[in-house]
Structure 1
Amino acid sequence: FAILSAIQNHVTGRIPFNPVSEAYKSPYFRTQASLYEQVVTVIQLMSPHFKHIFNDRGYNKILFPSDPDVPPSNELMSLAEVYIMESDPIFDYPQPQLPNIKFIGGLSVGPSKELQEPFKSFVERSEKAGVGVAILSFGSLFMNLPKQLEEKLISALSRLQLNTIWRANLTSPDPNKILTSTWLPVNDLLGNKNVKVFMTHSGLHSLYEALYHAVPVVCLPIFFDQQPNAERMEAKGYGRNVDLLKTSANELLKAIEDVASNNKIKSTISTASEIYRELYTNPRQEAAFWLDHVMRYGGSYMRYSGQKIPMYLFIMDYVLVFLAGVVFALVLFLVVFILKRALSLCLRRDKHFKKD
């Protein structure tokens, strides 16, 4: 079987990793991670394993009551013959990989289509007036923001030197400058040459569409994977990462204008877009190819030995326990030795005082 995912799990996929050079979800490029980052990396990569130890058997009893021999989910995932990853080293950080891990890029991207109304007339009217367009979307889950955030966004957008198309469930305060809609053809809008900046919640598909069409981004992450996604976009020079809750309307306005007019950001994401388009011409076709390939031939020839061993062997639980035991024994020995020396000195001193 195959696994299609946007997130790589080094432990369940049995991907060798080195916390010194691969700080987990680190927003910056470093030749060597700090000690803190290394510790966090190990803990975050190991935590799914320890969670599975306590939870998987219980889940299996519920999901597979008639088949107690079904392996835990972390072991089951390691049996996949191919991992199709909606990721790539242009969007994500380069990492060591295995032969059965296939990067396909973003599944939602592709050439833009002709805009439909009311978006077409709004973009054309803006272009005739010599005004660029900004796109703002928080995805389908956040069309009703808290009143305070809506007012902050309206304050910034009303002063922006661009017209804005905003995916939101609200009435536009100025329809000539801000077009609101509960649905946006984001990929088609980003493909329009008059779109200058994309303000996004930093969902994976949204960022891939911006990368494909070379549109600089202002990342406004809210939760889950959006924050590390936004950090990567800023680290790679594709845009800015802005905390919408802590940023004032004036600061937000300045960030949007900086990204929209920054030639370096535009050049960086344009180069990345060219590389991406050359390497990932048809992600869906690539995914379909590997699914068909594995169904026809299997994928055992791509699996390495580390994917065939139990979890405790892969992460060397027994080695960690042994080393912890050695360290504990050494510490205990030192404590006992110091206490004995201190006690011996005290006894000698008492004898000396008694003689005097």
Structure 2
Amino acid sequence: MSKRFKVGIIGCGIGRSHIVEGYLPHADKYEVAALCDLDETRLNAVADEFFVSRRTRSSDELMSDPDIDIIDICTPPAVHTKLVLQALAAGKHVVCEKPLTGSLAEVDQVRLAEKNSKGLLMPIFQYRYGEGVAQAKRIIDSGLAGKPYAATAETFWRRTADYYDNPWRGRWATELGGVLMTHAIHLHDMLTYLLGPIERVFARAETRVNAIEVEDCVSASLLMQNGALASLTATLGAAEEISRLHIAFEHVTFESNHEAYSPGDGPWRIVPVSDEVRQAIDALLADSPPVGRRFNGQMEAFYGALVSGAAPPVTSEDARRSLELVTAIYHSNDTHSDVVLPIAEDHPKYHSWRP
């Protein structure tokens, strides 16, 4: 009989989505055994909803519980690093919401701890999961798409003052950033998932929509290592919420769906340059296995890694690449200059991108 992993979730806000989309559909693989939240009302409401008897306001209790296999961290960003390091030191497997840490120095600290822990660490990047992005990834990896030319990533969302009427949102000390960190980070990860690493970044970031500390509008120009050009645009002042990825290759153009919170879902527009390419793509995708969407797909893939001992489907290296882009955008905005990646220990924002 396959192992069923016991999960302790810290943070019942986004943690509830992990339960609904990620763990309940795989009840044969995971048991949500305990919940932790500082807000006792929310803790009890979510625990009652999903019949979780073990509930606590102390994350230390979950870390020290030998029956808990996985610690799932869904807290505000500022405490992620501390909790990840504590869980790895306790030998737990770890799932952590974005951003994984608050600096590249902290990412590297976590990666070192990960090497010395028996637990696997998986950052959350659920936009990688869905039929649309899976088909695009398969076509690109097969070589059928050909040379990459250009791409755009648009995160046009809406957040009002009510959203920021909260003790931790919109503040550098607790949210660690704005639209780059909390909203566009998933679509930007999906871009690099399909196009590969970034070589250079030039960017501007402004606060134009809400009276907050952090940025809520961003425009960035990227040169990818493979030579492709990409542009990123994000705002929290859009009247209509969409997330859209649009990529032109030599033989195929891809356009994601426009669903703000699930652009990886199918169908995507896949436009080949010829009937010959279309036929080759149809043949390639004819036997494509089904892919769960968002947290469903990521938690299923994580289970496969846990039982096989393979690397997790999303790694701390992926998280570093994501936060390296964030760091480069902030530095480019501050210095009005191109930023060359990768960013090393001698970079002025290696230890913190915050003002």
Tell me whether the two structures share a fold, i.e. TM-score over 0.5: no
Q: So what's the TM-score if we normalise by structure 1? A: 0.29
Bigger radius of gyration among the two: 1
Greater fraction of residues in helix: 1
Greater fraction of residues in strand: 2
Q: So what's the TM-score if we normalise by structure 2? A: 0.29
